Structure 1
Amino acid sequence: MVDPNELAGHFASGAFSVHGVYESEIEPGSYRGHSQDNRTPYAGFVFALHGRAFFEFEGTRYELAPGKVAHGGARMTLSLDVPGPAPFKYVLIHYSADAPSNTGAGDCSKRHFVLETGENPAIVELLRRLHKAAGTPGSLHALEAKELFYRVTLETLKSAHNRANRESAGIVDIVLDYMHHHYMEPLTLQRLADIAGMDAKPFSYAFNKAVGLFPIDYVIRHRIERAKHLLVASNGPVSGIAKCVGYEDAHYFSRLFRKHTGYTPSGFRSRFGNYARAF
C-alpha cells in the first residue's frame, strides 16, 4: 500500500522535469512495452481514461480502469494486456527526478504502484491542458507544462488521499462494531487486521488515525470500561468479571485495571459500588 502523503513529500522536496505527455489508445491484445534490453530511461504516470488494461511492472501486475493511476519507475520492464472488448485509452506522462527529495524515504521515481483516485473530472481537464502545453514549442509552454505536471500530481494525490480516508473510516467502523460485540474473546492485532482485509501495519495506522488509539489499546480501554460497569452493578467475583471481559488470568486483569483506573477491582467496587447509575 502506497501512502499519498509520503509521495507528496517526495514531489514537494524534489525537482522534476517532464519529458513527454502522450494520449494513446490500445486495441485489445497483449503487448511488450519495455523488455530487459529496452528499458525506458524515464519514470511515468499512466492515467486510465476509458476501457481496462493490466500493466505489469517488474513482474507485479496491476489492473487499470478509469479512476486508477499507475506509476512505473525508470528502467523497469513493462508488459501490458488489454482484455477488451473495448480499447484502452490513457494519458502517459514521462518525467525524471532532476534532484532527489530530502524526505529520506527513497526515490518514488524508481517505484511502481497504483493510486485509486476515483473518477475526477478535474484531473482529466488538467491532463488535457498538460498534453496541449507539452506539445507546443517554446520555453513558456515548457514552463507551463512543468507547472501543470505539479498540479496534476497534487490533484491526483489529494484524490487518492481523500478516497483512502473515506475507505479507511468505513473499515474502522466495521472493526469497531466487531470489537464492541466480541471484546470478551481473544483479539489480536492480526485478527482485527484480517477482519479489515488489510495488513497489520497499515490497518493499525488507519485505526489510530481515525480513533486516536491503536487497536489493542482500544480493546483494553473498552474492556476496562465494561469491567467498571460489571463491578459496580454486581457482586460477582473479580475472577468472573475478568473472564467476562476477555481475561482468563484474574491477576493480570487486576494489574491492568489498576494501571488504567488507579484502583484495584475490589477497591473500585468499594469506592463506586453505591453509585452504579453514574457508569
Structure 2
Amino acid sequence: MVEEPNAEGGARSLMEIDWNVLSKQWSDSNFRIGTVMKFIKKPGELFTSYRTIKPSFTIIKQGQGVLLLDTHTYGLQPGTIVHSCSDMWLKAWNTGDEFFECYRVLYETSLMGNPHMQETYKHYQVTIGDSPQIYTILEQMCEFSSQGDIQSELQVKTLFYHFLNETRISSKKLQVNEHRVMIEETMTYIHLHIQEPHSLFSLASRYEISPKYFAELFYKVAGVSPINYIIRYRINIAEKMLLSTNASIREIGKSVGYSDPYQFSKIFKKYKGVAPSDLKSGHGIVGKRM
C-alpha cells in the first residue's frame, strides 16, 4: 500500500500513486544511485538528523521507529518503506526496545525538474509486508556501493531496478489481500444491516476512501458493484421469505430495506422476472438467478 501524511501528521491511503505510471517514469528517466547504507541503532538512539540534499528510500528491516520529514510524521516498522524528497528536514530515531535496522538508498534523477513527472518526487510511505528478497537485494546494493568503481555502479543501478520491481509486486500483493478483507467485511456489514439504507458514499466513508475507489475495489473482489450487490442480496432474501413464510409483501419488502411496497415489487420483478404477488400466490416461476 502507498500512503502519504494527512493534515494531522499521520498517514492515509494515497490512491493517486499509480504503480504503472511510476514504473514508466523510472524506466524513462536518467538517474544515478548515490550512497546505499545500512543502519543498526540501539533502543532510543537518535540515528539521523539533517537537511536532505537528495531524495531517498528508507527501508525498515527490524525494530520500531519514527521519521519526521519537516512537519510530517511516519511510523517505521518492518515491511515499510518511506520515500523522502530533497530539501526537507529529516529526523529519525529508534522508539522500540530492540535494535533498529534499516537501509537508505540515495539517488539523483532527471525527473526532479519535470512538473509532469513528479510521482518519483513525492514523499510517501509504501507497505510491502514480509519481503525477504528485497532485503537480499539491498544487501547486494550496499556491497557494490562501497566498492566505488564503474562496474559496481552499474551493478547497483541494475539491482535498484530489481528493488523497485519487488517493491511494486509486494505492495500490490498486500493491497489485494487488504482489499479482499475490507470488501468481505463490507459484505458482512450489509448482511447484518439489510434493513438500513446504504449508499456508495456511506459504505466508502467507513474506510475513509473515495466512493469511486471503493466501488472499483468492490467490483474487483465481488464481480458486481456495491449497489447491485445490495439489491441482489435483498431480493434473494425476499424470494426465500415469499416462498417460506406467511408474511405480507409489504412486511417482506420492509424487512429487506424497502419501505415502499410499489418500489419493492418493481425491483423484485426486474431482477427475478416475476412479481412478488405472483410468486407468493404460486402462479409465478422464477426465471432469473442472481
Structural mapping, 1:59-70, within 5 Å:
59-70=71-82
Gap runs ≥5 in structure 2: 1-12
Structural mapping, 1:170-185, within 5 Å:
170-185=181-196
Letter in 2 for 1:17: R
Once the two structures are superposed, residues 167-204 of structure 1 have per-residue CA deviations (whole angstroms, 9 ceiling, x without a partner) of: 22223222222322322223344554466x45354544
Q: Name the residue aligned to 2:68.
A: 56
1:210 is the counterpart of 2:221 = yes
**How many correspondences in the alignment?**
270
Residue among 12, 17, 34 paired with 2:24: 12
| Structure 1 CA distance for aligned equivalents of residues 97 and 36 of structure 2 | 26
Normalising by structure 1, report the TM-score: 0.81
8 Å CA contact retained: 2:218, 2:224: yes
Structural mapping, 1:170-249, within 5 Å:
170-193=181-204, 197-201=207-211, 202-234=213-245, 236-249=247-260
Structural mapping, 1:144-155, within 5 Å:
144-155=155-166
Q: Name the residue aligned to 2:5.
A: none
Query: C-alpha displacement at 1:126, in angstroms?
Result: 0.5
Q: Name the residue aligned to 1:113.
A: 124
Q: Secondary structure at the match of 1:41?
A: coil
Identity across aligned pairs (percent)? 25
| Structure 1 CA distance for aligned equivalents of residues 165 and 86 of structure 2 | 21
Cα RMSD for the two superposed structures: 3.2
Q: Secondary structure at the match of 1:160?
A: helix
Residue among 23, 26, 35 paired with 2:38: 23
Q: Secondary structure at the match of 2:18?
A: helix
8 Å CA contact retained: 1:44, 1:93: yes
8 Å CA contact retained: 2:275, 2:284: no
Once the two structures are superposed, residues 100-131 of structure 1 have per-residue CA deviations (whole angstroms, 9 ceiling, x without a partner) of: 8x9x7x62222222222223221111001111
1:271–1:142 CA distance, 2 compared to 1 (3 A)? farther
Q: Secondary structure at the match of 2:271?
A: helix
* Higher share of residues assigned helix: 1
Q: Name the residue aligned to 1:131.
A: 142
Q: Secondary structure at the match of 1:114?
A: strand
| Structure 2 CA distance for aligned equivalents of residues 141 and 31 of structure 1 | 27
1:42 is the counterpart of 2:57 = no
| Structure 2 CA distance for aligned equivalents of residues 258 and 97 of structure 1 | 60
| Structure 1 CA distance for aligned equivalents of residues 142 and 136 of structure 2 | 10
| Structure 1 CA distance for aligned equivalents of residues 283 and 128 of structure 2 | 52
| Structure 1 CA distance for aligned equivalents of residues 277 and 14 of structure 2 | 48
Gap runs ≥5 in structure 1: none
Letter in 2 for 1:33: S
Residue among 254, 264, 280 paired with 1:253: 264
Query: C-alpha displacement at 1:164, in angstroms?
Result: 2.0
Moved more, 122-131 or 44-53: 44-53
Once the two structures are superposed, residues 61-87 of structure 1 have per-residue CA deviations (whole angstroms, 9 ceiling, x without a partner) of: 111122211111233332223224334
1:248–1:169 CA distance, 2 compared to 1 (3 A)? same
8 Å CA contact retained: 2:253, 2:260: yes
| Structure 1 CA distance for aligned equivalents of residues 108 and 283 of structure 2 | 66
| Structure 1 CA distance for aligned equivalents of residues 78 and 252 of structure 2 | 53
| Structure 2 CA distance for aligned equivalents of residues 264 and 274 of structure 1 | 10
Normalising by structure 2, report the TM-score: 0.78
Residue among 73, 88, 99 paired with 2:85: 73
